[in-house]
Chains A and B, each alone.
Chain A
Amino acid sequence: MKTNTPSKHRRVRSGLPALEWVRDATGRCARVTAMGMGSVLVENHTGIADISDCRIRLNTRSGPLCVTGTALSLRDVRPGALIIRGGIRLIELPCEGGEAPDEP
Protein backbone atom coordinates (compact mmCIF):
# COMPACT_ATOMS: atom_id res chain seq x y z
CA MET A 1 0.00 0.00 0.00
CA LYS A 2 1.26 3.26 -0.98
CA THR A 3 1.28 6.12 1.48
CA ASN A 4 1.13 9.83 0.65
CA THR A 5 4.47 11.34 1.19
CA PRO A 6 5.16 15.12 1.58
CA SER A 7 6.97 15.04 -1.71
CA LYS A 8 3.59 14.76 -3.48
CA HIS A 9 2.48 18.22 -2.19
CA ARG A 10 5.72 19.83 -3.19
CA ARG A 11 5.36 22.22 -6.08
CA VAL A 12 6.83 21.02 -9.29
CA ARG A 13 9.38 23.37 -10.82
CA SER A 14 9.33 23.79 -14.50
CA GLY A 15 11.89 21.86 -16.28
CA LEU A 16 12.41 24.58 -18.82
CA PRO A 17 13.49 27.96 -17.32
CA ALA A 18 12.73 29.68 -20.62
CA LEU A 19 9.05 29.05 -20.09
CA GLU A 20 9.17 31.70 -17.30
CA TRP A 21 8.95 34.32 -20.08
CA VAL A 22 5.51 33.10 -21.00
CA ARG A 23 4.08 34.47 -17.77
CA ASP A 24 5.65 37.80 -18.51
CA ALA A 25 4.34 37.81 -22.00
CA THR A 26 0.77 37.21 -20.91
CA GLY A 27 0.90 40.43 -18.85
CA ARG A 28 -1.29 39.29 -16.02
CA CYS A 29 1.18 39.43 -13.17
CA ALA A 30 2.31 42.71 -11.70
CA ARG A 31 5.83 43.84 -12.42
CA VAL A 32 7.70 46.23 -10.15
CA THR A 33 10.92 47.82 -11.33
CA ALA A 34 12.97 49.99 -9.01
CA MET A 35 14.97 52.57 -10.89
CA GLY A 36 17.67 54.04 -8.69
CA MET A 37 16.68 55.24 -5.25
CA GLY A 38 13.74 57.49 -6.08
CA SER A 39 11.65 55.87 -8.81
CA VAL A 40 9.59 52.72 -8.99
CA LEU A 41 7.87 51.57 -12.14
CA VAL A 42 4.75 49.52 -11.52
CA GLU A 43 3.18 47.71 -14.45
CA ASN A 44 0.09 45.57 -14.72
CA HIS A 45 -1.62 46.97 -11.66
CA THR A 46 -5.40 46.99 -11.62
CA GLY A 47 -6.02 50.27 -9.86
CA ILE A 48 -5.04 52.65 -7.11
CA ALA A 49 -6.37 51.61 -3.72
CA ASP A 50 -5.02 54.40 -1.58
CA ILE A 51 -2.88 57.41 -2.18
CA SER A 52 -1.15 59.83 0.15
CA ASP A 53 2.20 61.57 0.18
CA CYS A 54 3.70 58.87 2.44
CA ARG A 55 2.03 55.74 1.18
CA ILE A 56 0.65 54.54 -2.12
CA ARG A 57 -1.24 51.27 -2.32
CA LEU A 58 -1.97 49.66 -5.64
CA ASN A 59 -4.16 46.69 -6.46
CA THR A 60 -2.73 43.85 -8.48
CA ARG A 61 -4.08 40.47 -9.43
CA SER A 62 -1.88 38.90 -6.80
CA GLY A 63 -2.88 41.27 -4.03
CA PRO A 64 -2.15 44.80 -2.79
CA LEU A 65 1.22 46.37 -3.49
CA CYS A 66 2.27 49.07 -1.08
CA VAL A 67 5.03 51.65 -1.46
CA THR A 68 5.96 53.65 1.61
CA GLY A 69 8.19 56.69 1.72
CA THR A 70 8.18 60.50 1.88
CA ALA A 71 6.97 63.11 -0.59
CA LEU A 72 5.65 60.49 -2.93
CA SER A 73 4.12 61.46 -6.25
CA LEU A 74 2.89 59.74 -9.37
CA ARG A 75 4.33 60.23 -12.83
CA ASP A 76 3.22 59.06 -16.23
CA VAL A 77 0.00 57.57 -14.98
CA ARG A 78 -1.39 55.29 -17.68
CA PRO A 79 -3.94 52.49 -17.50
CA GLY A 80 -2.03 49.59 -15.92
CA ALA A 81 1.26 51.40 -15.41
CA LEU A 82 2.66 54.31 -13.44
CA ILE A 83 5.85 55.60 -11.90
CA ILE A 84 6.12 56.40 -8.21
CA ARG A 85 8.67 59.03 -7.33
CA GLY A 86 9.88 60.38 -4.06
CA GLY A 87 11.88 59.18 -1.08
CA ILE A 88 11.02 55.50 -1.26
CA ARG A 89 11.60 53.61 1.95
CA LEU A 90 9.71 50.34 1.63
CA ILE A 91 8.07 48.31 -1.13
CA GLU A 92 5.67 45.66 0.07
CA LEU A 93 4.99 43.09 -2.61
CA PRO A 94 1.86 40.91 -2.66
CA CYS A 95 2.29 37.29 -1.59
CA GLU A 96 2.23 34.80 -4.43
CA GLY A 97 -0.93 32.97 -3.29
CA GLY A 98 -2.85 35.99 -2.01
CA GLU A 99 -6.33 36.86 -3.11
CA ALA A 100 -6.97 39.74 -5.38
CA PRO A 101 -8.98 42.54 -3.78
CA ASP A 102 -12.20 43.80 -5.22
CA GLU A 103 -12.11 46.14 -8.11
CA PRO A 104 -12.93 49.77 -7.17
Chain B
Amino acid sequence: MNRDCALRVDCPMPQRLIDRALARGARLNSIHLSGPRSMVIRCDPASAKVVLGLCERFSIPVRVLRLGGSSALRAFVRRRRTLLVGLAVCLALSAAFLSRVWRIEAGFSGEAAEYGDAAALEKALRRAGIAPGMPRDGFDPGQLTQYLQGELGNCSYVGVRVQGVCLYVEAVPEVPAPPVYDVDAARDLVSDRDGIVVRAVARSGELCVKPGDAVRRGQLLIRGEEKRTKEETRPIAALGEVVVRAWCTGEATLPLSAVVQRQTGRASFEARLSGPFIDWPLTEGAPFDSQIVETSHLPIGGLFLPLEIVRTVRRETRAVPEEIDRAALKARLSALACADAAQKLCLRESRDYEMTDRWVNYAHEGNELRATAIIEIRADAAVTREVLQGG
Protein backbone atom coordinates (compact mmCIF):
# COMPACT_ATOMS: atom_id res chain seq x y z
CA MET B 1 0.00 0.00 0.00
CA ASN B 2 1.41 3.39 -0.99
CA ARG B 3 1.52 5.47 2.18
CA ASP B 4 2.36 8.75 0.40
CA CYS B 5 0.08 11.77 0.64
CA ALA B 6 -0.27 14.37 -2.11
CA LEU B 7 -1.13 17.99 -1.29
CA ARG B 8 -1.68 20.88 -3.68
CA VAL B 9 -0.67 24.14 -2.01
CA ASP B 10 -1.35 27.59 -3.49
CA CYS B 11 1.18 29.72 -1.72
CA PRO B 12 2.74 33.09 -2.73
CA MET B 13 6.03 32.20 -1.02
CA PRO B 14 6.44 28.45 -1.14
CA GLN B 15 10.05 28.57 0.07
CA ARG B 16 8.90 29.97 3.40
CA LEU B 17 6.35 27.21 3.84
CA ILE B 18 8.89 24.52 2.95
CA ASP B 19 11.46 25.94 5.38
CA ARG B 20 8.94 26.09 8.21
CA ALA B 21 7.76 22.56 7.50
CA LEU B 22 11.34 21.28 7.50
CA ALA B 23 12.00 23.14 10.73
CA ARG B 24 9.04 21.29 12.28
CA GLY B 25 10.48 17.94 11.31
CA ALA B 26 8.66 17.27 8.06
CA ARG B 27 10.28 15.15 5.37
CA LEU B 28 9.09 15.95 1.85
CA ASN B 29 9.58 13.28 -0.75
CA SER B 30 9.04 15.51 -3.75
CA ILE B 31 7.92 19.01 -4.61
CA HIS B 32 6.58 19.74 -8.11
CA LEU B 33 5.96 23.30 -9.10
CA SER B 34 2.81 23.32 -11.16
CA GLY B 35 2.65 27.14 -11.41
CA PRO B 36 4.27 30.32 -10.15
CA ARG B 37 2.32 30.08 -6.89
CA SER B 38 1.24 26.47 -6.84
CA MET B 39 3.07 23.29 -5.95
CA VAL B 40 2.27 19.64 -5.33
CA ILE B 41 3.95 18.14 -2.27
CA ARG B 42 4.25 14.38 -1.83
CA CYS B 43 5.23 13.23 1.62
CA ASP B 44 4.46 10.72 4.36
CA PRO B 45 1.28 11.12 6.47
CA ALA B 46 3.11 12.67 9.45
CA SER B 47 4.74 15.30 7.28
CA ALA B 48 1.42 15.91 5.53
CA LYS B 49 -0.09 16.61 8.91
CA VAL B 50 2.64 19.20 9.57
CA VAL B 51 2.09 20.89 6.20
CA LEU B 52 -1.67 20.92 6.69
CA GLY B 53 -1.21 22.46 10.15
CA LEU B 54 0.95 25.22 8.74
CA CYS B 55 -1.49 25.90 5.91
CA GLU B 56 -4.35 26.12 8.37
CA ARG B 57 -2.38 28.41 10.64
CA PHE B 58 -1.42 30.83 7.87
CA SER B 59 -4.68 30.46 5.95
CA ILE B 60 -2.97 29.01 2.92
CA PRO B 61 -5.33 27.27 0.55
CA VAL B 62 -4.47 23.59 0.34
CA ARG B 63 -6.20 20.65 -1.23
CA VAL B 64 -5.57 17.02 -0.36
CA LEU B 65 -5.10 15.07 -3.60
CA ARG B 66 -4.43 11.72 -2.01
CA LEU B 67 -4.27 10.40 1.49
CA GLY B 68 -2.15 7.57 2.80
CA GLY B 69 -1.75 5.54 5.98
CA SER B 70 -4.48 5.43 8.58
CA SER B 71 -6.12 8.53 7.15
CA ALA B 72 -6.55 6.79 3.83
CA LEU B 73 -7.90 3.75 5.63
CA ARG B 74 -10.35 5.93 7.53
CA ALA B 75 -11.44 7.63 4.31
CA PHE B 76 -11.85 4.27 2.61
CA VAL B 77 -13.92 2.97 5.48
CA ARG B 78 -15.99 6.15 5.44
CA ARG B 79 -16.63 5.71 1.73
CA ARG B 80 -17.48 2.04 2.11
CA ARG B 81 -19.46 2.21 5.33
CA THR B 82 -22.51 0.65 3.64
CA LEU B 83 -20.33 -2.29 2.67
CA LEU B 84 -19.36 -2.77 6.29
CA VAL B 85 -23.01 -2.63 7.33
CA GLY B 86 -23.83 -5.17 4.65
CA LEU B 87 -21.04 -7.46 5.76
CA ALA B 88 -22.16 -7.17 9.35
CA VAL B 89 -25.75 -7.99 8.38
CA CYS B 90 -24.53 -10.91 6.27
CA LEU B 91 -22.44 -12.23 9.11
CA ALA B 92 -25.35 -11.88 11.52
CA LEU B 93 -27.69 -13.71 9.14
CA SER B 94 -25.11 -16.43 8.54
CA ALA B 95 -24.60 -16.86 12.26
CA ALA B 96 -28.36 -17.03 12.79
CA PHE B 97 -28.72 -19.58 9.98
CA LEU B 98 -25.84 -21.76 11.10
CA SER B 99 -26.99 -21.79 14.70
CA ARG B 100 -30.09 -23.81 13.84
CA VAL B 101 -30.89 -27.28 12.58
CA TRP B 102 -32.53 -27.14 9.17
CA ARG B 103 -32.36 -30.73 8.02
CA ILE B 104 -33.18 -33.90 9.91
CA GLU B 105 -32.21 -37.27 8.47
CA ALA B 106 -33.52 -40.24 10.42
CA GLY B 107 -33.13 -43.80 9.28
CA PHE B 108 -32.49 -47.39 10.19
CA SER B 109 -29.40 -49.44 9.54
CA GLY B 110 -28.02 -52.83 10.40
CA GLU B 111 -29.07 -56.37 9.50
CA ALA B 112 -32.67 -55.86 10.59
CA ALA B 113 -33.10 -52.42 9.06
CA GLU B 114 -36.24 -53.56 7.28
CA TYR B 115 -37.93 -54.18 10.61
CA GLY B 116 -37.52 -50.54 11.66
CA ASP B 117 -40.67 -48.50 12.05
CA ALA B 118 -39.98 -45.20 10.33
CA ALA B 119 -43.35 -43.76 11.34
CA ALA B 120 -42.69 -44.51 15.02
CA LEU B 121 -39.25 -42.89 14.80
CA GLU B 122 -40.69 -39.78 13.17
CA LYS B 123 -43.43 -39.63 15.76
CA ALA B 124 -40.92 -39.98 18.61
CA LEU B 125 -38.78 -37.18 17.16
CA ARG B 126 -41.85 -34.97 16.89
CA ARG B 127 -42.80 -35.72 20.49
CA ALA B 128 -39.25 -34.83 21.57
CA GLY B 129 -39.69 -31.41 19.94
CA ILE B 130 -37.22 -32.04 17.15
CA ALA B 131 -38.21 -30.08 14.10
CA PRO B 132 -36.37 -28.19 11.36
CA GLY B 133 -35.49 -24.67 12.42
CA MET B 134 -34.86 -25.44 16.07
CA PRO B 135 -31.68 -24.09 17.72
CA ARG B 136 -28.67 -26.36 17.63
CA ASP B 137 -28.22 -26.06 21.37
CA GLY B 138 -31.94 -26.58 21.99
CA PHE B 139 -31.49 -30.27 22.77
CA ASP B 140 -28.97 -32.61 24.31
CA PRO B 141 -27.93 -35.43 21.93
CA GLY B 142 -27.33 -37.81 24.84
CA GLN B 143 -30.76 -37.23 26.34
CA LEU B 144 -32.37 -37.46 22.91
CA THR B 145 -30.63 -40.81 22.37
CA GLN B 146 -31.97 -42.18 25.64
CA TYR B 147 -35.44 -40.84 24.90
CA LEU B 148 -35.52 -42.45 21.46
CA GLN B 149 -34.28 -45.78 22.84
CA GLY B 150 -37.09 -45.70 25.37
CA GLU B 151 -39.72 -44.71 22.82
CA LEU B 152 -38.73 -47.13 20.08
CA GLY B 153 -38.09 -50.01 22.44
CA ASN B 154 -36.84 -52.58 19.95
CA CYS B 155 -33.67 -50.80 18.91
CA SER B 156 -30.27 -52.06 19.98
CA TYR B 157 -28.54 -48.76 19.16
CA VAL B 158 -29.63 -45.19 18.56
CA GLY B 159 -27.15 -42.55 17.48
CA VAL B 160 -27.80 -38.80 17.34
CA ARG B 161 -25.24 -36.59 15.64
CA VAL B 162 -25.32 -32.92 14.71
CA GLN B 163 -23.19 -31.96 11.74
CA GLY B 164 -23.48 -28.40 10.48
CA VAL B 165 -27.14 -27.64 10.06
CA CYS B 166 -28.05 -31.33 9.76
CA LEU B 167 -29.23 -33.67 12.50
CA TYR B 168 -28.56 -37.33 11.78
CA VAL B 169 -30.51 -39.93 13.73
CA GLU B 170 -29.46 -43.53 13.14
CA ALA B 171 -31.31 -46.42 14.77
CA VAL B 172 -30.38 -50.09 14.58
CA PRO B 173 -33.36 -52.41 15.17
CA GLU B 174 -32.87 -55.60 17.10
CA VAL B 175 -32.34 -58.80 15.16
CA PRO B 176 -35.42 -61.01 15.74
CA ALA B 177 -34.78 -64.13 17.79
CA PRO B 178 -34.85 -67.44 15.91
CA PRO B 179 -37.75 -69.85 16.59
CA VAL B 180 -37.27 -71.94 19.72
CA TYR B 181 -38.16 -75.61 19.85
CA ASP B 182 -39.30 -77.42 22.90
CA VAL B 183 -37.14 -80.53 22.92
CA ASP B 184 -39.52 -82.39 25.21
CA ALA B 185 -42.56 -81.84 22.97
CA ALA B 186 -42.50 -85.15 21.13
CA ARG B 187 -42.97 -85.00 17.37
CA ASP B 188 -41.86 -86.69 14.16
CA LEU B 189 -40.83 -85.10 10.91
CA VAL B 190 -42.42 -86.50 7.76
CA SER B 191 -42.05 -85.70 4.08
CA ASP B 192 -44.41 -83.21 2.55
CA ARG B 193 -43.79 -84.40 -1.04
CA ASP B 194 -42.59 -87.19 -3.21
CA GLY B 195 -38.92 -87.14 -4.11
CA ILE B 196 -35.44 -88.54 -3.77
CA VAL B 197 -33.39 -87.68 -0.73
CA VAL B 198 -30.31 -85.65 -1.52
CA ARG B 199 -29.13 -84.68 1.95
CA ALA B 200 -30.43 -85.68 5.39
CA VAL B 201 -29.31 -84.13 8.65
CA ALA B 202 -30.91 -84.88 12.02
CA ARG B 203 -30.13 -82.46 14.86
CA SER B 204 -32.31 -84.38 17.30
CA GLY B 205 -34.13 -87.67 16.87
CA GLU B 206 -33.39 -90.68 14.72
CA LEU B 207 -32.88 -90.31 10.99
CA CYS B 208 -34.99 -92.81 9.04
CA VAL B 209 -33.81 -92.06 5.47
CA LYS B 210 -30.47 -91.71 3.76
CA PRO B 211 -29.39 -89.92 0.59
CA GLY B 212 -30.61 -91.73 -2.49
CA ASP B 213 -33.82 -93.05 -0.92
CA ALA B 214 -37.10 -92.38 -2.63
CA VAL B 215 -39.67 -90.96 -0.25
CA ARG B 216 -43.40 -90.52 -0.60
CA ARG B 217 -45.57 -87.80 0.79
CA GLY B 218 -46.26 -88.51 4.50
CA GLN B 219 -43.33 -90.91 4.89
CA LEU B 220 -41.46 -90.69 8.20
CA LEU B 221 -38.12 -88.95 7.79
CA ILE B 222 -36.88 -88.27 11.34
CA ARG B 223 -38.35 -90.14 14.25
CA GLY B 224 -38.72 -88.13 17.44
CA GLU B 225 -37.12 -90.41 20.00
CA GLU B 226 -33.75 -91.03 21.52
CA LYS B 227 -32.25 -93.80 23.51
CA ARG B 228 -32.11 -93.29 27.20
CA THR B 229 -30.65 -96.73 27.90
CA LYS B 230 -30.00 -99.75 25.71
CA GLU B 231 -33.62 -100.86 25.90
CA GLU B 232 -35.44 -97.71 26.80
CA THR B 233 -36.15 -94.73 24.61
CA ARG B 234 -37.86 -91.48 25.32
CA PRO B 235 -39.87 -89.20 22.97
CA ILE B 236 -38.35 -85.90 21.96
CA ALA B 237 -38.96 -83.24 19.33
CA ALA B 238 -37.32 -84.26 16.09
CA LEU B 239 -35.18 -81.56 14.48
CA GLY B 240 -33.30 -81.53 11.22
CA GLU B 241 -33.61 -81.12 7.51
CA VAL B 242 -34.07 -83.60 4.69
CA VAL B 243 -33.43 -82.09 1.29
CA VAL B 244 -35.17 -83.98 -1.47
CA ARG B 245 -35.13 -83.68 -5.21
CA ALA B 246 -38.68 -83.16 -6.39
CA TRP B 247 -40.36 -82.26 -9.65
CA CYS B 248 -43.21 -80.09 -10.68
CA THR B 249 -44.90 -80.56 -14.07
CA GLY B 250 -46.97 -78.37 -16.30
CA GLU B 251 -48.75 -79.32 -19.53
CA ALA B 252 -50.06 -77.69 -22.65
CA THR B 253 -51.75 -79.16 -25.74
CA LEU B 254 -52.27 -77.70 -29.21
CA PRO B 255 -53.59 -79.25 -32.48
CA LEU B 256 -51.08 -80.18 -35.12
CA SER B 257 -53.19 -78.75 -37.93
CA ALA B 258 -55.53 -75.81 -38.32
CA VAL B 259 -58.43 -75.08 -40.69
CA VAL B 260 -57.89 -72.00 -42.82
CA GLN B 261 -60.21 -70.35 -45.33
CA ARG B 262 -58.76 -70.30 -48.83
CA GLN B 263 -60.31 -68.41 -51.78
CA THR B 264 -61.43 -70.57 -54.72
CA GLY B 265 -61.23 -67.74 -57.26
CA ARG B 266 -64.95 -67.45 -57.93
CA ALA B 267 -66.53 -64.07 -57.23
CA SER B 268 -69.87 -62.29 -57.75
CA PHE B 269 -70.44 -58.57 -58.05
CA GLU B 270 -73.48 -56.57 -56.99
CA ALA B 271 -74.16 -52.85 -57.30
CA ARG B 272 -77.02 -50.60 -56.32
CA LEU B 273 -77.76 -46.91 -56.33
CA SER B 274 -78.30 -45.69 -52.81
CA GLY B 275 -79.51 -42.37 -51.40
CA PRO B 276 -81.54 -40.90 -48.53
CA PHE B 277 -84.83 -42.09 -49.96
CA ILE B 278 -83.78 -44.44 -52.68
CA ASP B 279 -82.23 -47.89 -52.93
CA TRP B 280 -82.20 -49.03 -56.54
CA PRO B 281 -80.38 -52.25 -57.51
CA LEU B 282 -78.24 -51.94 -60.61
CA THR B 283 -76.76 -55.44 -60.88
CA GLU B 284 -77.45 -58.64 -59.00
CA GLY B 285 -74.85 -61.16 -57.71
CA ALA B 286 -75.44 -64.59 -56.16
CA PRO B 287 -74.07 -65.30 -52.72
CA PHE B 288 -71.88 -68.35 -51.91
CA ASP B 289 -72.04 -70.76 -48.99
CA SER B 290 -68.68 -69.58 -47.66
CA GLN B 291 -67.55 -66.21 -48.83
CA ILE B 292 -65.71 -63.01 -48.10
CA VAL B 293 -67.70 -59.86 -48.67
CA GLU B 294 -66.07 -56.58 -49.64
CA THR B 295 -68.24 -53.44 -49.85
CA SER B 296 -67.17 -50.10 -51.32
CA HIS B 297 -69.09 -46.81 -51.54
CA LEU B 298 -68.67 -44.58 -54.61
CA PRO B 299 -70.27 -41.09 -54.22
CA ILE B 300 -71.59 -39.62 -57.46
CA GLY B 301 -73.62 -36.53 -56.44
CA GLY B 302 -71.43 -34.67 -53.99
CA LEU B 303 -72.72 -32.67 -51.07
CA PHE B 304 -75.97 -31.36 -52.62
CA LEU B 305 -77.01 -34.69 -54.11
CA PRO B 306 -76.04 -37.43 -51.65
CA LEU B 307 -76.23 -40.37 -54.04
CA GLU B 308 -73.73 -43.18 -54.11
CA ILE B 309 -73.14 -46.52 -55.74
CA VAL B 310 -72.71 -49.32 -53.22
CA ARG B 311 -70.59 -52.03 -54.82
CA THR B 312 -70.43 -55.45 -53.14
CA VAL B 313 -67.92 -58.12 -54.12
CA ARG B 314 -68.42 -61.67 -52.81
CA ARG B 315 -65.48 -64.04 -53.06
CA GLU B 316 -66.06 -67.76 -52.52
CA THR B 317 -63.87 -69.46 -49.89
CA ARG B 318 -63.31 -73.03 -48.82
CA ALA B 319 -62.09 -74.47 -45.52
CA VAL B 320 -58.78 -76.28 -46.01
CA PRO B 321 -56.95 -78.09 -43.20
CA GLU B 322 -53.23 -77.12 -43.05
CA GLU B 323 -50.28 -78.38 -41.06
CA ILE B 324 -48.87 -75.88 -38.54
CA ASP B 325 -45.14 -75.21 -38.54
CA ARG B 326 -43.74 -77.75 -36.09
CA ALA B 327 -40.91 -75.57 -34.68
CA ALA B 328 -43.22 -72.65 -34.01
CA LEU B 329 -45.76 -74.99 -32.47
CA LYS B 330 -43.14 -76.51 -30.15
CA ALA B 331 -41.87 -73.12 -29.10
CA ARG B 332 -45.39 -71.99 -28.26
CA LEU B 333 -46.15 -75.23 -26.43
CA SER B 334 -42.90 -75.03 -24.47
CA ALA B 335 -43.69 -71.52 -23.28
CA LEU B 336 -47.23 -72.49 -22.26
CA ALA B 337 -46.11 -75.66 -20.43
CA CYS B 338 -43.29 -73.89 -18.56
CA ALA B 339 -45.65 -71.14 -17.50
CA ASP B 340 -48.11 -73.72 -16.21
CA ALA B 341 -45.38 -75.55 -14.27
CA ALA B 342 -44.06 -72.32 -12.77
CA GLN B 343 -47.54 -71.32 -11.70
CA LYS B 344 -48.11 -74.67 -9.99
CA LEU B 345 -44.73 -74.43 -8.31
CA CYS B 346 -45.50 -70.98 -6.94
CA LEU B 347 -48.85 -72.13 -5.62
CA ARG B 348 -47.42 -75.27 -3.99
CA GLU B 349 -44.14 -74.12 -2.50
CA SER B 350 -44.33 -71.89 0.54
CA ARG B 351 -40.79 -72.59 1.74
CA ASP B 352 -37.43 -71.83 0.18
CA TYR B 353 -36.40 -74.03 -2.68
CA GLU B 354 -33.65 -74.17 -5.29
CA MET B 355 -34.48 -74.73 -8.94
CA THR B 356 -31.86 -77.10 -10.36
CA ASP B 357 -33.12 -78.14 -13.81
CA ARG B 358 -35.91 -77.73 -16.32
CA TRP B 359 -36.85 -79.54 -19.52
CA VAL B 360 -39.83 -80.14 -21.82
CA ASN B 361 -41.09 -83.42 -23.29
CA TYR B 362 -43.35 -83.59 -26.36
CA ALA B 363 -45.83 -86.34 -27.20
CA HIS B 364 -48.31 -86.88 -30.06
CA GLU B 365 -51.90 -87.63 -29.08
CA GLY B 366 -54.01 -88.12 -32.15
CA ASN B 367 -54.10 -84.82 -34.01
CA GLU B 368 -52.64 -82.96 -31.07
CA LEU B 369 -49.16 -82.31 -29.69
CA ARG B 370 -48.79 -82.38 -25.92
CA ALA B 371 -45.88 -80.64 -24.15
CA THR B 372 -44.94 -81.52 -20.59
CA ALA B 373 -42.60 -79.12 -18.80
CA ILE B 374 -40.75 -80.53 -15.78
CA ILE B 375 -39.04 -78.31 -13.24
CA GLU B 376 -36.66 -80.01 -10.84
CA ILE B 377 -36.19 -78.40 -7.46
CA ARG B 378 -34.38 -79.15 -4.24
CA ALA B 379 -36.15 -78.29 -1.04
CA ASP B 380 -36.37 -79.27 2.60
CA ALA B 381 -39.23 -81.76 2.80
CA ALA B 382 -39.20 -82.40 6.58
CA VAL B 383 -42.34 -81.05 8.22
CA THR B 384 -44.36 -82.05 11.26
CA ARG B 385 -47.50 -84.08 10.88
CA GLU B 386 -49.59 -81.11 11.95
CA VAL B 387 -48.19 -79.00 9.16
CA LEU B 388 -48.74 -81.79 6.65
CA GLN B 389 -52.34 -82.27 7.68
CA GLY B 390 -52.97 -78.56 7.87
CA GLY B 391 -51.99 -78.16 4.28
Contact = CB atoms under 8 A, between A and B. Distances in A.
B36 A52 contact: yes
A40 to B, nearest CB: 14
Nearest to B24: A79
A52 B33 CA distance: 7
A75 B22 CA distance: 13
A52 B35 CA distance: 8
A78 B30 CA distance: 10
Given A50-B15, A52-B36, A74 B27 contact: no
B31 A73 contact: yes
B19 interface: yes
Nearest to A50: B15
A32 interface: no
A49 B15 contact: yes
Nearest to A58: B15
Contacts of A77: 18, 22, 27-31
Interface string B13-53: 01110110011000111111100100100000000000000
Which DSSP category, helix, strand, loop or mixed, fits chain B's interface? mixed
B350 to A, nearest CB: 105
Interface residues of A, number: 16
B15 A48 contact: yes
B98 to A, nearest CB: 54
Nearest to B42: A75
A51 interface: yes
Contact of A73 (B15, B16, B33): B33
B-side interface size class: 10 to 19
A53 B28 contact: no
Contacts of B36: 52
Contacts of B22: 77-79
B31 A74 contact: yes
Contacts of A51: 14-15, 18, 31, 33, 39
A74 B28 contact: yes
Contacts of B16: 104
Contacts of A53: 33
Contacts of B23: 79
A67 interface: no
A104 B19 contact: yes
A87 interface: no
A28 to B, nearest CB: 18
Contacts of B18: 48, 51, 74, 77
Contacts of B32: 73
Interface in A15-60: 47-53
A72 B27 CA distance: 19
A51 B15 CA distance: 6
Given A48-B15, A49-B15, A50-B15, A73 B27 contact: no
A71 B28 CA distance: 18
A75 B14 contact: no
A74 B28 CA distance: 9
A42 to B, nearest CB: 13
Nearest to B32: A73
A47 B15 contact: yes
Contacts of A96: none
A53 B33 CA distance: 6
A94 B19 CA distance: 20
A92 interface: no
Nearest to A104: B19
A63 B279 CA distance: 145
B15 to A, nearest CB: 4
A102 interface: no
Given A52-B36, A53-B33, A72-B33, A47 B28 contact: no
27 contacts: A47-B19, A48-B15, A48-B19, A49-B15, A51-B14, A51-B15, A51-B33, A51-B39, A52-B36, A53-B33, A72-B33, A73-B30, A73-B33, A74-B28, A74-B30, A75-B31, A76-B29, A77-B18, A77-B22, A77-B27, A77-B29, A77-B31, A78-B22, A78-B27, A79-B23, A104-B15, A104-B19
Closest 8 pairs (CB-CB, A-B): A48-B15, A77-B28, A74-B31, A53-B33, A79-B22, A73-B32, A51-B15, A75-B30
